[in-house]
Structure 1
Amino acid sequence: MSDDKPKVQEIRQSENRFLGSDIFESGKYVFSARNGRGSVTEAARDVPVYHECDVLVVGGGPAGTAAALAAARTGADVVVMERYNHLGGLSTGGVVIWIDRMTDWSGNLVIKGFAEEVLARLPDEGKAGPDRALWGRRDDALAKYWRLRTSAFHGIVTWAPTIDPERLKLTSQEMLIEAGVRIVYHSWAAVPVVEDGAVKGVIFESKEGRQALMAKVTVDCTGDGDVFARAGAGFETDIEEGDVHHSMNTGFMLGGVDMQTWLDFRLNDEKGFSEINQLGRETLGFFQAPYVSWRDDIALFLGPRQSGLSALNVDDMTEVEIRSHRFMQAHCEFFRRHAPGFQNAYMLLSAPQLGVRHTRRLGGLGRIERGQWSSGQALPDEVGVSPSMSPKFPVISVPYSALVPARLNGLLAAGRHVSCDANSHGFMREIPQCWLTGHAAGAAAGVAANRGVHARDVDIAELQATLRKQGVYIRDAAEAPARALDAPVAG
């Protein structure tokens, strides 16, 4: 851990920021600045074509997995390319195993389709969360119980389960194989192939060297917009340095804990819990309290969150990884000494994937904006519905135009880099919303490839019918703006 004193900012809940958190800033780096100068010339060469397909999904995270399955179910020939050895992205390799809210404030499941199916296919021992009958309940005791288990907010019980990342890896993989998707692991897309203003595929690197993978439609699910940025599409990078939604960390898990003892302590001894937090900040500087997992003997840490560093800068990314591994050891030792239920804790796993929340956002034909939150209106090109940030707002319509580049054919974008403003990005980056936009983009790519049209020219009615057939919740454009909070809970 760096020995300089970090600057700590406490970010409180508001209607624009759902999560309260400490954000840490530190300008001191382990390594000195790089000293590279000048450039070298890379010789031109022919690149062999590895494969040709209808739909290429670049990135096998939550959005990419959903996109690949949705596209395959339209009958398209689909390939998903993933740089790691598993699917699921941050929800598995990033140990972001707390899946955020999928219900509205009345308890209705609104993020469905792939999201609902993949969670339903997890065995009971691979997920934890409130029973369906409790979704939308506003009982104080229930809300207090589930708030500590990451499934109640604003006094309302929601569906926001925690999951076993290994189960999700396997389930996601098998769903794609069953659907006929070709999976290409250990491969990193390097450069898009662009001809006449359209993406035709990508050149990628693997242990076999440099090869090309060609497609009628490419879906950028890299999370950072690597494909659309390098292909020349417009994008935004504006961030608030002190916002949790724009910070980074490597998540980790501690095993050998007794979470029930810890939760009882946190619930019944507010003074003691506050003292541990204060001691942790004073002792460690960078500090993060644990979350529950899908098991009572495993604690999840999604921090400490660090700002002022970029996931598009390799030195910054390296710095975050170095700090995070040090944080893991320091937190394990601190909690063993001071926290009830952690006396036998040990370091179980640090995430193999860096916890990135924001880099680029697509410059799309349309976008999701803060001014839209209050209307609740179903947009004409709605391809999904997101829960809102608080009960003050109705659900939020996700338009197809937010997945389509303003100026680029042959490409769609899904996941945390969809077209939206900085405030809306706070929830559109979450795992369920990535499943939602991935599902929409994959279905659209399949329709476009099958019809032989550009993705921007896909018939919206056909796309919406395809998505509904695949289980996605989509409203009619004329549907009433919002359900009342006391509306009946969907069965």
Structure 2
Amino acid sequence: MKTITRTDERILTADIFDRDAKPPRPQLGTVHEPGRDIPVYRECEVLVVGGGPSGTAAAAAAAKQGADVVLLERYNHLGGLSTGGLVIWIDRMTDWEGQLVIRGFAEELFDRLPQDAVAGPPQPDWGSQDAAKAHHWSFRTAAYHGVVTWSPTIDPERLKLLSQEIVIERGVKLVYHSWACLPLVEEGKVVGATFESKEGRMAIRAKVVVDATGDGDLFARAGAAFTNDIEEADVHHCMNTSWLFGGVDMDRWIAFRSGNPDGYNAFMAGGREACGLFERPFVSWRNDIALFMGPRQSGYSALDVDDLTAVEVRSHRAMAAHLAYYQAKAPGFEGAYMLQSAPQIGVRHARRLKGVGAVLRSQWPEGRALPDEIGVSPAVSPKFPNISIPYGALVPETLDGLLACGRHISCDRNSHGFMREIPQCWITGQAAGVAAALAVQAGVQPRAVDIAQLQRALQSQGVFLRTTETVEA
């Protein structure tokens, strides 16, 4: 077990647990798959593969821009890790001054979610450095470095429904229970993808494909360059399956944690001894539901089916062990019960695109709006200014016909720690969707989209962008 401490470049503190031993996989030869003709299910202008935060934003944005869109999703819902992964704590959407910089599609979601589906600090408190307010919200995942932030928790079922209804309202052809297999590539250009469902294998032809798989499945299989330099001691590169406990009283738990630090430390030490893998609870959108986003497990690959299975097995066993210990030892958890384990595994990192641009650690101190800025991310700490997200981070170095969005965009390992978060995925997804639609309308490749036109279109959809002059002023 490793314990990661909070620094100016790391918001989260967490214990990280090494993998179990992995037996070698036997080498059993191969089988021959004969060639076959695959029926074409649909033709469209923009195909979005993956309905997580970035894919949902991409499909909604492309359709709003006037494109004919198909959204392909392997599960029975949209939202990805923000819903099916139970990552219902949405990371910081305000900067350290309290300005809302994660806007556009993200802002529309929160404007339309029911009030009882969202929990977080009121808008007048965003950016507050009042000690009492910061103390209160620090135990509710909404204050860091003594600053209150807009980082709410949400009802995952409400977000599933709203995400679905938005894309349907805009005329997107939504296809659930369908897993993309291989990109269709002609002369170095992606022109669609094949997918598997209960009907067997079919294909979708498209003028532009948006890879929102989270793991870069399509761009990797199409031959685009990528990196997967996972840092095993980094909480941002671990895996786990999240879960919810019902029947709790989180106010009582927070009173214990904040009012009795010695008792809390003893509780955590006892939990590590009793359970091995051990994690503290987070608040949710309700006082009677606790969220567990760990224990975070290191050394497993999101691209290895045996590793994925091992993480699921360990996580579900940890859920049962946690319930027994919390019921016996934790104030507010005496009547706790297993409410739900996430149907989607919590993958934080697999591949990252090598794009024509990138979000880089070296850019953090500059605070400069890049010429091809398509979004702005809050910095990881108040010592840094806001961080510019370039369009080039979505565009492969050489592969045409495809854009990437979400946690696998072009960035270095440090920047990936926040670029993989849900608000940033909404940003890059919306940019990819708008850019894909503009590429189709102009009859050009995504890399040739007019940047000024893209920026105007994003601003018309409510995205927060800056100009170089504004930043310098």
Task: Give the TM-score, by structure 1 length.
Answer: 0.95
Aligned to 1:75: 66
- Deviation, 1:405, is 0.2
- Deviation, 1:478, is 2.4
Per-residue CA shift, 1:166-221, capped at 9, x if unaligned?
A: 00000000000111111000000000000010000001000000000110000000
Aligned to 2:322: 331
Whole-Å separation in 2 of the counterparts to 1:481 and 1:261: 47
Aligned to 1:306: 297
- Deviation, 1:18, is 1.9
Aligned to 2:370: 379
Aligned to 2:190: 199
CA separation of 1:54 and 1:362: change in aligned 2, threshold 3 A: same
Question: Which residue of 113, 122, 142 corresponds with 2:104?
Answer: 113
Whole-Å separation in 1 of the counterparts to 2:349 and 2:389: 19
- Deviation, 1:477, is 2.4
What are the residue-to-residue correspondences of 1:3-82 with 2, within 5 Å? Answer: 8-29=1-22, 32-82=23-73
Aligned to 2:164: 173
Question: Which residue of 388, 391, 399 corresponds with 1:400?
Answer: 391
- Does residue 163 of structure 1 match 2:138? no
What are the residue-to-residue correspondences of 1:103-252 with 2, within 5 Å? Answer: 103-252=94-243
Contact 2:19 2:300 survives alignment (8 Å)? no
Whole-Å separation in 1 of the counterparts to 2:434 and 2:471: 26
2:161 corresponds to which letter in structure 1? L
Aligned to 2:84: 93
- Deviation, 1:28, is 3.0
Whole-Å separation in 2 of the counterparts to 1:217 and 1:26: 39
Counterpart secondary structure, 2:468: coil
Contact 2:11 2:144 survives alignment (8 Å)? no
Whole-Å separation in 1 of the counterparts to 2:234 and 2:282: 20
Counterpart secondary structure, 2:272: helix
- Deviation, 1:481, is 4.7
Question: Which residue of 243, 249, 260 corresponds with 2:251?
Answer: 260
Counterpart secondary structure, 1:120: helix
- Deviation, 1:240, is 1.2
Whole-Å separation in 2 of the counterparts to 1:332 and 1:162: 22
Aligned to 2:407: 416
Whole-Å separation in 1 of the counterparts to 2:390 and 2:144: 26
1:297 corresponds to which letter in structure 2? D
- Does residue 461 of structure 1 match 2:452? yes
The alignment-based identity, stated in percent, is 62
Contact 1:378 1:481 survives alignment (8 Å)? no
1:413 corresponds to which letter in structure 2? A
Contact 1:394 1:481 survives alignment (8 Å)? no
Contact 1:375 1:481 survives alignment (8 Å)? no
Counterpart secondary structure, 1:412: strand
Whole-Å separation in 1 of the counterparts to 2:310 and 2:402: 33
- Deviation, 1:146, is 0.3
Counterpart secondary structure, 2:58: helix
Per-residue CA shift, 1:226-245, capped at 9, x if unaligned?
A: 00000000001002111000
Poorly superposed stretches of 4+, deviation over 6 Å: none
Aligned to 2:284: 293
CA separation of 1:300 and 1:481: change in aligned 2, threshold 3 A: farther
Whole-Å separation in 1 of the counterparts to 2:19 and 2:211: 32
Instruction: Return 5+ residue gaps in structure 1 as ranges.
Output: 1-7, 483-491
Contact 1:364 1:405 survives alignment (8 Å)? yes
2:5 corresponds to which letter in structure 1? R
Contact 1:276 1:338 survives alignment (8 Å)? yes
Counterpart secondary structure, 2:343: coil
Counterpart secondary structure, 1:24: strand
Contact 1:71 1:445 survives alignment (8 Å)? yes
- Deviation, 1:20, is 1.1
Contact 1:56 1:80 survives alignment (8 Å)? yes
Whole-Å separation in 2 of the counterparts to 1:278 and 1:350: 24
Whole-Å separation in 2 of the counterparts to 1:145 and 1:16: 23
Contact 2:62 2:437 survives alignment (8 Å)? yes
Contact 1:256 1:298 survives alignment (8 Å)? yes
Task: Give the TM-score, by structure 2 length.
Answer: 0.99
Instruction: Count matched residues.
Output: 473
- Deviation, 1:37, is 1.6
Whole-Å separation in 2 of the counterparts to 1:296 and 1:428: 29
Counterpart secondary structure, 1:478: helix
Aligned to 1:489: none
1:274 corresponds to which letter in structure 2? N
Whole-Å separation in 2 of the counterparts to 1:57 and 1:481: 36
Counterpart secondary structure, 2:429: helix
Per-residue CA shift, 1:293-313, capped at 9, x if unaligned?
A: 000000000000000100000
1:207 corresponds to which letter in structure 2? K
Whole-Å separation in 2 of the counterparts to 1:417 and 1:67: 14
- Deviation, 1:288, is 0.1
Question: Which residue of 430, 435, 450 corresponds with 1:439?
Answer: 430
Contact 1:377 1:479 survives alignment (8 Å)? no
2:57 corresponds to which letter in structure 1? A
Whole-Å separation in 2 of the counterparts to 1:222 and 1:205: 15
Whole-Å separation in 1 of the counterparts to 2:370 and 2:306: 42
1:27 corresponds to which letter in structure 2? D
Counterpart secondary structure, 1:203: strand
- Does residue 278 of structure 1 match 2:293? no
Whole-Å separation in 1 of the counterparts to 2:227 and 2:166: 34
1:471 corresponds to which letter in structure 2? G
Aligned to 1:486: none
Instruction: Return 5+ residue gaps in structure 2 as ranges.
Output: none
Contact 2:96 2:382 survives alignment (8 Å)? yes
Aligned to 1:429: 420
Counterpart secondary structure, 2:462: coil
